Amino acid sequence: MTTAVRDESTVRNAAPLARKREPEIPLSTKPYRLVSRETQPAPTIVDVAGVPVGGETFVVMAGPCAVETEEGIVEAARGVKRLGAHILRGGAYKPRSSPYSFQGHKAEGLRRLSRAREITGLPIVTELMSAADVEAVAACADLIQIGARNSQNTALLCEAARSGKPVLLKRGMCGTIEEWLMSAEYIVANGNPNVILCERGIRSFETMTRNTLDLSAVVAAKQETHLPVIVDPSHGTGRRDFVIPMARAAVAAGADGLLLEAHPHPETALCDGDQSLTLEMFAQLMEEIAPIVEVMGKSLRVGPTTSTEQLSFSGT
Ligand code: PEP
Ligand code: MN
């Protein structure tokens, strides 16, 4: 779908006849028109290299926070695939709070991700941080992630939209649900309808968790929009021991999938080891969410990458 973007005041002030002549942007009582359920009641299903996200499926995206060595990302990819993950995550460009922390292997990280896809067949989700890298990231990613820190970077949203790749849009850590949906609107209004929303926790006064995972945002976003909504309980809590319970809760809240940090050796991880699941824990998570996914009327058996055998854990 390609739509022209118009100034809101043009629409508001337009005479009724003029409005009729410009049907490409629907009028809506909401500030986010194209992503609103008013405009499209049926759920959008986003095709991520053959994996349908939204509708009846429940999609699990898992892998390390950052791409480390080639052997490391291949081991992680093989591990999460065997246990039932549908999409491999891994950051090549890392947004770090400190300039002295590991910033990611960048172009070389993208190459290692592509290698992991070649070997396992898993589609890739990876973050785009700068418009300067859009071509390189789009050439590797099956799903381009816009991180929490860039959730309202409208220039970057437009670049990601124009790449033609599906976009995973995280909620800003201080962003309201309405602001998050308006960011999604930027992408759709710039010609790219393939947007997946991701709740990843918001900043609150609480210090026991890294962020406060707002599962009511899943309910709100699913009510307000037709876009798929997934949950990241890894950044949402910052604690490995909280990830499985909050993943179960996310499924029960109606999420369409999960984005999880899982690492074969989290104690050696260059980034976010404390919140990364071991592969044993990832296996447990997959087992524990399965009956809840079923109760919610969804299926974990999606796309070409899952099979019954892959759902049983047999060591690393
Ligand atoms: C990530 O998923 O790698 C990440 C940096 O998350 P967020 O943008 O939610 O902090
Ligand atoms: Mn991380």
For residues 79 and 115, what is the distance between their CA atoms, to the nearest angstrom?
A: 15
pLDDT tens column, 115-130 = 999 999 999 999 999 9
CA 233 to ligand 1 center in whole angstroms: 11
d(CA 48, CA 166): 7
Q: Is the CB of 304 under 6 A from ligand 1?
A: no
- What mean pLDDT is reported for the chain? 91
- What's the CA gap between 116 and 118, in Å, rounded? 5
Amino acid at 310: Q
CA of 65 to the centre of ligand 1 (A): 8
Ligand 2 centroid to Cα of residue 272, in Å, is 5
Distance 32 CA to ligand 2 centre (A): 29
In terms of pTM, does the model score above 0.95? no
Q: Please choose from 73, 98, 145 the residue to mutate so as to test ligand 1's pocket, defined by most ligand atoms within 8 A of CB.
A: 145
Bridge partners for 61 per DSSP: 87, 259
Distance between CA atoms of residues 170 and 198, nearest Å: 5
Give residue-wise pLDDT tens across range 2-20.
Answer: 445 556 555 444 444 444 4
Does ligand 1 lie within 6 Å of residue 170's CB atom?
yes
Alpha carbon distance 243, 223 (integer Å): 25
The phi and psi torsions of 312 (rounded to 5 degrees) equal -105, 140
* Confidence at residue 69, expressed as pLDDT on a 0 to 100 scale: 98
What φ, ψ does residue 196 adopt, rounded to 5°? -115, 130
Task: Assess whether the C-beta atom of 235 lies below 6 angstroms from ligand 1.
Answer: yes
Instruction: Name the pLDDT band for 27 (thresholds 50, 70, 90).
Output: confident
* Gyration radius of the chain's alpha carbons: 19
Strands (E), the chain: 46-48, 51-53, 59-63, 87-89, 124-127, 143-146, 167-170, 195-199, 229-231, 257-261
Q: 36 phi and psi, to 5 degrees?
A: -75, 145
Residue 105 contacts residue 67 (beta carbons within 8 Å): yes
Q: Are 76 and 270 in contact (CB under 8 A)?
A: no
In ligand 1, the atom with minimum distance to the C-alpha of 198 is: 9
What DSSP state is assigned to residue 89?
E
Nearest ligand 1 atom to the CA of 151 is 8
The minimum-distance atom of ligand 1 relative to the CA of 272 is 3
In the chain the first and final C-alpha atoms are separated, in Å, by: 43
| Ligand 1: residue whose CA is nearest its atom 9 | 148
Q: What is the pLDDT of residues 130-189, one digit of tens each?
A: 999 999 999 999 999 999 999 999 999 999 999 999 999 999 999 999 999 999 999 999
Q: Is the pLDDT of residue 312 over 80?
A: no
In angstroms, what CA-CA distances link 6 with 23, 151, 238? 12, 21, 40
